[in-house]
Structure 1
Amino acid sequence: MVGPVVGMLLGVADSVVNHVPVMLGEIGTASAERGGWSQAAEFAGLILDAGWAWAATAVLAGWWVSRHARPAAGMLHGALAGGLALGFATTAYYGAELLFNGSAWWGVETRFWLIASVLLGPPLGVAGAAIRLPGPAGVVAALVVPAGGALQMAVLPPPAASLMAEPVRWSTWIVAVAAAGFVARGFLGRDAVASPAGPGRGPLGR
């Protein structure tokens, strides 16, 4: 149930924050002249619209469902949870858009992102489950989301026309660097105390 729940939360939240200016009657107002609530919603919307945030949802679902499973079973659970997370996120997003806009739910864009969810969700869920693995495999898996966030901000940053573009960009960079440092610290600390009597834990201490 974790995959569907986190996916639905992401999809609905993404759609809702994108419509805050409409709810506040500021849709015709220039972005820089909107009120504080609209600016906060735009900040949140730029993050929730980002590909790395959707990827993080699938990774989180895979990490969570694998917590009590053996590695092989955990990978299978993670793949299923990741696919469900993105599938339900896409469905919930376009369902909420239908309620807000009255537009057709099923279209080319919806089909495209559902196919992308089926293709990308499972490997991202596996990455989440792999975070629990000891050694370099766990480290690489734990760096998927921070690296993805940093790469997107470098290659495909938020639109410059938005007043929140730079705050979102710098916030993402800071969080990505901090997360990478946390992973590296956990990996090095684990190696420092590892003993031949038993395997080390994953880079996040699990």
Structure 2
Amino acid sequence: MIVVMSWSTRAWWLVGPIVGMALGSVDSIVNHVPVLLGEVGIARAERGGWSQAAEFGSLILDAGWAWAAAAVLVGWLVSQHATTRQTSGLWRSAAAGGSALIFATAAYYGTDLLFDGGGWWGMATRYWLVGSALLGPPLGLAGALTRRPGPVGKVATLVVPAGAALQMALLPPPPDSRMTQPVRYSVWIAAVLVTAVVTAHRGRRRNAVPSPTDPLGG
């Protein structure tokens, strides 16, 4: 018999490290595709198809909104179980969001170390570890709050799409990349679609009667 352990019960604390390590290592590997293909000395706009595809993924994964989305996702996953939707259980989502970004940072610079050598404990690593510890918990908490009905849940659900659209407007990818505009348009379109879906879904839920046993319903 295969026993499936719920993330939100005994193994909830594993969600952050697993998602974080996957994000950080994949991000670093994608960034090093031109190195693996021997195209480092070639201008970004003139690299081959595989490097361009990796560039698209890199511009997505390197963005702050993508890392924020990972912490929100982790908080949402941890809050699946009814007990973690209680106010007393929200700290699990917050802790999981923080651990996701901390492990993502560690995995990112650890994978960089495999490609580039040098030291792991540099200024950039320390800077982003501190940032992860500060920003990860509230983002994880936002992931849990997306399950709430009403304005709180709606605002929490729109944190990622709104942040992604705003970042693409204020901090766009570098202009020397052929993938700059495709990434910007892709993110904007995705943000609009997610916002529309969330608005429609919550509009249908507004007429639903909340469960009296759900402490967050209402």
- With the length of structure 1 as denominator, give the TM-score of the two structures: 0.93
Instruction: Describe the superposition over 1:114-145 as per-residue Cα deviations: whole angstroms up to 9, x where unpaired.
Output: 00000000000000000011111100000000
Residue type of the partner of 2:180? A
- Find the counterpart in structure 2 of residue 65 from structure 1: 78
1:1-206 → structure 2 map (5 Å cutoff): 1-68=14-81, 69-191=84-206, 193-195=207-209
Q: Which amino acid aligns with 1:29?
A: I
Find the aligned partners of 1:94 and 1:126 in 2 and give their Cα distance.
Answer: 26
RMSD: 1.6
How far has the Cα of 1:75 moved from its partner?
Answer: 1.5
**Whole-Å separation in 2 of the counterparts to 1:130 and 1:111:** 29
Determine the C-alpha separation between the residues in 2 that align with 1:75 and 1:178.
28
| Alpha-carbon distance in 2 for matches of 1:196, 1:123 | 25
Moved over 4 A (4+): 196-200
CA contact (8 A) 2:16 2:74 kept: yes
Q: For residues 108 and 30 of structure 1, what CA distance do their matches in structure 2 show? A: 28
How far 1:34 moved relative to its partner? Answer: 1.1
Q: How many pairs does the alignment contain?
A: 200
SS at match of 2:119: coil
Alpha-carbon offset, residue 64 of structure 1: 0.2
Paired residues of 2:59 and 2:183 also in contact (CA < 8 A) = yes
- Give the secondary-structure state (helix, strand or coil) at the position aligned to 1:94: helix
Q: Percent same amino acid among aligned pairs?
A: 62
Structure 2 unpaired stretches of 5+: 1-13
Greater Cα offset, 64-73 or 149-158 = 64-73
Change beyond 3 A, Cα 1:189–1:23? same
User: With structure 2 as the length reference, what TM-score do the two structures score?
Assistant: 0.88
Distance 2:210 2:198 in 1: 22
Task: For structure 1, list consecutive stretches of 5 or more residues without a partner in the other structure.
Answer: none
Match of 2:198, SS state, is helix
User: 1:54 aligns to what SS in structure 2?
Assistant: helix
